[in-house]
Structure 1
Amino acid sequence: MSGPRVLIVDDNAMNVAIAQVVLQADAFEVECAGGAAEALQKVDLFRPELILMDIQMPGMDGLELTQLLKARPATQGIVVVAFTAFAMRGDEAKMRSAGCDGYLSKPIDVKHFAQQVRALIGKPALSNGDATGSAL
């Protein structure tokens, strides 16, 4: 039996590696993308239940990619969680208006990260329960 599917979209290899190891150790299926173009290729094939979305990436940033995914019928139901060090009030409004369903802050707490991600999976868009950062 396979675990929940998570796509990590982040251009920082260290952030990706740590998150991937922690999630895989907790029975998640994990795919990674280093940017928007790669994420768009992987999302339709992998069909994640949740996307951990870095906000600051070169080219198309995480908020633009989130807007694109939320506008597509095939991907609009995927829970998108901002995976960011930016967690200030003004940033929360930007994340919500782009379609993010929650956020988890970096650096991650390796002891609780998998549990936090699991709590966000399957929640209705824009009404997720608290999981570290929160549900926006």
Structure 2
Amino acid sequence: MAKPKIMLVDDTRLILELEKSFLKVSHIDVVTAGNGAEALELVRKDPPDLIFMDLNMPVMDGISCCTLLKADPFLSSIPVVMLTTAGNDQDRARAQQAGCDDFLTKPIDRRLFLDMARKYTDAVDRREVRIPCQIPVLFLLHESPVGAHALDIGDGGLFLASREEVVPNQELRLALFLETERTPLLELKGRVAWVNQEGKRVHSGLPTGFGVEFLEPAQWQKDELNGFVDAARKGRGEG
């Protein structure tokens, strides 16, 4: 059985790599294009199951490409999610007129991106790659610093072993050192995604504690997290 295929269309290589990283644990094929004309050619040769397309691109923009796709009876059923600039209602109106199925705004939020992809294909996994670790972490709780250990970490979040009382969606500030060449101190904002309570475990294989999703990390922080996770996976023979 063929794997579902998602096409990513953007003229910025960094954006394409970021979107690909969101999908790296999903059982799907990913194909990329740098503009609407290239995307249209690839779609006609081998139609994907879902397209994420930037609105503003050279050669052919997302509006023109989406209009042509939706006018083709053989391709019109492919869902197109248009990436627009936050707060630009005029762009949204143009994209909607072109027939796009949904919108996402830049900068791209990993959780929203995966939720959108999951809406159109259940082959998309919302989880990111996690690696086991023992990293000391400080986080602020009611303005007081609290120490804990991260037992796993990925580029999107971590699990903290802790008996402190927190609730889902509670925002935290965290500080942690990664064992990289630069050994940077990462100061990150996070959100409690789920809680492993004593006697009420969400994940039975983990102790009392909670999962944290990182909120709006800077690009250099994402790079450090990705580099740390990739190096750890290679060290364990996983890639």
Q: Which residue of 2 aligns with 1:125?
A: none
Q: Which runs of 5+ in 2 are unaligned?
A: 123-239
Structure showing the higher helix proportion among its residues: 1
Is structure 2 residue 53 aligned with structure 1 residue 53? Answer: yes
Deviations 1:44-93 (A, max 9, x none): 23321111111000121110110011111111111111022244322221
Structure 1 letter corresponding to 2:110: V
Is structure 2 residue 21 aligned with structure 1 residue 21? Answer: yes
On the 8 A contact 1:52/1:82 being kept in 2, the answer is yes
Structure number with the bigger relative contact order (C-alpha 8 A, sep ≥ 6) is 1
Q: TM-score, normalised on structure 2?
A: 0.47
Q: Which residue of 2 aligns with 1:90?
A: 90
Identity of aligned residues (%): 38
On the 8 A contact 2:84/2:91 being kept in 1, the answer is no
Structure 1 letter corresponding to 2:14: M
Q: 1:18 to 1:106 in 2, by over 3 A?
A: same
Q: Which residue of 2 aligns with 1:11?
A: 11
In 2, the alpha carbon distance for the partners of 1:25 and 1:116 equals 16
Q: Which residue of 2 aligns with 1:64?
A: 64
Q: How many residues align?
A: 122
Q: Which runs of 5+ in 1 are unaligned?
A: 123-136
On the 8 A contact 1:81/1:101 being kept in 2, the answer is yes
Deviations 1:24-47 (A, max 9, x none): 322232100011221122112332
In 1, the alpha carbon distance for the partners of 2:88 and 2:37 equals 27
